[in-house]
Chain A
């Protein structure tokens, strides 16, 4: 799915940095300071919410738009955490077509 998303984003002219786990994602984000970060919750090595939390503590990452794109069903406690991390969008992967995800990417970048 990461690949499918990367292909679509590339096709639209975006430069994409792909990470296979949370630690790699955090390192890439801190190195390249992208305009938008799309994160899943369930990730190896470091989960998506911890990665977001770390990024939100950096000067750069405080305001960077982030989209949570996941199939994880959040419980009350997780919902609270997500709310605190202020993602631009919180989308359920299975419920969104690639086309609709692209629309949200564009909207998040305009925010």
Chain B
């Protein structure tokens, strides 16, 4: 009986200890903030069951063999203790996991903070003005440069309407419609909109009423495909405009200064050759002819250089009109008749039926086609053939210029449309030439919305293909 009494006391002690353990574990779980943890819950339930079983054993302690009772009792206590350790172990891992998550979260918060600081630093130090607007076109913020350019402070404009505060004008100083303003166009069409120097014709009016020519790039801010706002980066292009004007003036003056003395040479040699200053001897006639040919070449060179300058400064502008293809090609070829005759070259032109009128800049495209034809005439040996084929290819006009000339060496073909290129084989045949003709031709064709390419075999000939859009206005 004494032994049974002590057993009951120990069992009761174990049970109280079990309850305290469960309470301790639950408190710990709550403290760690763990809401769901299946393994822990199983361990807890298991432990309660083991302890309960141990306690139930007390009632059977008198009817069981003492040794059997002790064995069973020990098993349940050990089981309970193991489950307790398992619950603690599980909690530890959970707590560790949460800790790791906390650290990761802290790291990410820190990274976000750094990223924000960096964005802020870029925003305020960027050389161009930046305006951030909400989807209704109201200021969110502007950077330091924008403050300088606009004459407004960031805190003054926040929440106010961009369009009302910053007037944008056209060349006639009339307000530009909202959908033509880069920021609003970008938000309306959900794409980047750029108006760049020197083509931009926008003018921005500052707070103090002064104005400056404006270039800007606006980008919409999209959240799940919907407009959340817009950012516009802009700058003052007064300097670019001034440089552009100077370039344009230089072009005009240089062309005048170079061409005027050449015109004098041309006209006076023409008069000499016509006998306006008396009859020339045969030798004098020969010399004056040389002067005249040289002057003509110089005029061609000046014109070519001016074209290159126009291409490079973006001044190549088209003046389009509807042109009859057959008449146009005939006019392009007419100038070459004397050369074709003197070299005994055969020119065949094939037109397909019912060619529609084409809309193009007649003067410029004529220059391009004549540059190609000139090469064919110059670099096809006497007695050779040149053919031109015109055909319609859908909404395109396709022109094929084919010759039986010297061709372009394969290893040099990639350079054909570059400036100053002359094939190594033709330099030997014809030392004079600028190497600008095809460069200019390509620039004109591309500017006209077309394309140009070629096939060539040295010693056999070259075919140039030109594709021009029909009916473009």
A interface residue numbers (CB < 8 A to B): 1, 4-5, 7-8, 11, 42, 70-76, 92-95, 97-99
Contacts and interface: CB of A to CB of B under 8 A. Distances in A.
Task: Report the contact-size class of chain B (Cβ under 8 Å from the partner).
Answer: 20 to 34
B157 interface: no
Contacts of A76: 317
B145 to A, nearest CB: 32
Contacts of B268: 4
A42 B264 contact: no
Contacts of A4: 264, 267-268, 271
Nearest to B268: A4
A105 B406 CA distance: 43
9 contacts: A1-B260, A4-B268, A7-B276, A70-B256, A71-B259, A73-B306, A75-B252, A94-B260, A94-B262
A94 B271 contact: no
Contact of A94 (B248, B263, B270, B317): B263
Contacts of A92: 259
B260 A71 contact: yes
Contacts of A1: 260, 263-264, 267
A40 to B, nearest CB: 9
A70 B317 CA distance: 20
B263 A93 contact: yes
B267 A72 contact: no
A98 B255 contact: no
Contact of B266 (A7, A74, A97): A97
B256 A42 contact: yes
**9 tightest A-B contacts by CB?**
A71-B259, A94-B259, A93-B263, A4-B267, A73-B255, A71-B256, A94-B263, A73-B252, A94-B299
B251 interface: yes
A11 B239 CA distance: 52
A107 to B, nearest CB: 18
B266 A73 contact: no
A73 B363 CA distance: 14
A42 B268 CA distance: 21
B248 A75 contact: yes
Contacts of B251: 73
A74 B256 CA distance: 11
A72 B276 CA distance: 28
A8 B271 CA distance: 9
A17 B473 CA distance: 44
B14 interface: no
B171 to A, nearest CB: 11
B306 to A, nearest CB: 7
Given A7-B276, A76-B317, A98 B267 contact: yes
A71 B256 CA distance: 5
B323 interface: no
Given A73-B255, A74-B252, A98-B267, 9 more contacts: A1-B264, A1-B267, A11-B276, A71-B256, A72-B255, A93-B263, A97-B266, A97-B270, A99-B270
B302 interface: yes
B20 to A, nearest CB: 95
Contacts of A97: 266-267, 270
Contacts of A5: 267
Contacts of B266: 94, 97
